[in-house]
Amino acid sequence: MASPRRTAPGTRLRLSRDRVIEAAVRLADAGGLDALTMRRLGEELNVEAMSIYNHVANKEDLINGMADAVFGEIELPSHSDDWKTAIRKRSISFREVLARHPWATTVRDSGANPGAATLRHHDRVIGTFRNGGFSVAAAAHAFSAVDSYIYGFAMQEKSLPFTTPEEVAAMAEIMLAQLPRSEYPYLAELTADYVLKPGYFYGDEFLVGLDLILDGLEAMRNAS
């Protein structure tokens, strides 16, 4: 009755590139890119590390696959919205996805051969600008400006030493106490009169900058 290979509760399914990538994303989400080692990934998959090489060429290939998987999670711009609404929604989704996978902010789906999800996403974003009345050049400008902003914002957010409002307050209090006020008066002022005010949350800055860029793009589009 029992097959020679037992199928215990959490036992292995057949390995595949997708299953490898999925597990790798899970590991990186939990412990950062440093926590992702081939040996630990093997454990996660109930397999020896060396088996992984049957499904990815090497670690770089694995990370490229992970980056493409992350791109696949971003909401595509909707065809039924006007360009501004569509780009705004997908930009908010993009930031959420990067917040869920902070390690992905520092990883680029290899410029040389991007994955299918990455290509589709970029194509749809550029298409949204083009159908919204942007010239090819203006669409290139828009694409560059918006995505640079999102990546940079996600990176800043990730590197903050706090997340919850309570942590912010505690941390800012300490930093302010240590900060030589005479040497860094503006930093001290910003911390005391802005960061330490109740309700402060760095994430709220995202929409301010995004809308500023989108309004600028609208003006650029109308001018051309």
What residues line the site for DNA (CB under 7 A)?
14-15, 36-40, 42, 47-51, 53-55, 58-60
**How long, in residues, is the chain?**
224
Largest Cα–Cα distance of the chain, in whole Å?
A: 79
- Under rule CB under 8 A, residue 60 binds a copy of itself: no
Asked whether the beta carbons of 69 and 25 are under 8 A apart, the reply is yes
Give the shortest CB-138-to-a copy of itself separation in angstroms. 9
CA dist., res. 1 & res. 22, Å (int): 33
- Under rule CB under 8 A, residue 54 binds a copy of itself: no
Which range of residues in 19-27, 38-46, 48-56, 181-189 is near a copy of itself by CB under 8 A? 181-189
Residue 5 interacting partner from DNA, a copy of itself, none (CB closer than 5 to 8 Å by kind): none
**Which lies closer to DNA via its Cβ, residue 24 or residue 168?**
24
Distances, alpha carbon 76 to alpha carbons 9, 71, 79, 86, 117, in Å: 37, 10, 9, 8, 10
Residue 23 interacting partner from DNA, a copy of itself, none (CB closer than 5 to 8 Å by kind): none
- Under rule CB under 8 A, residue 139 binds a copy of itself: yes
- Under rule CB under 8 A, residue 209 binds a copy of itself: yes
Asked whether the beta carbons of 52 and 41 are under 8 A apart, the reply is yes
* Among residues 140, 165, 167, 224, the one that binds a copy of itself under rule CB under 8 A: 140
Helix (H, G, I), strand (E, B) or coil at 113: coil
- Under rule CB under 8 A, residue 112 binds a copy of itself: yes
φ/ψ bin of 17: left (φ > 0), alpha (ψ from -120 to 50), beta (otherwise): alpha
Give the shortest CB-9-to-a copy of itself separation in angstroms. 39
Give the shortest CB-81-to-a copy of itself separation in angstroms. 17
- Under rule CB under 8 A, residue 126 binds a copy of itself: yes
- Under rule CB under 8 A, residue 156 binds a copy of itself: yes
**Which lies closer to a copy of itself via its Cβ, residue 23 or residue 98?**
98
* CB within 8 Å of 174: residues ≥ 6 apart: none
Count Cβ atoms below 10 Å from residue 74 Cβ, excluding itself.
Answer: 21
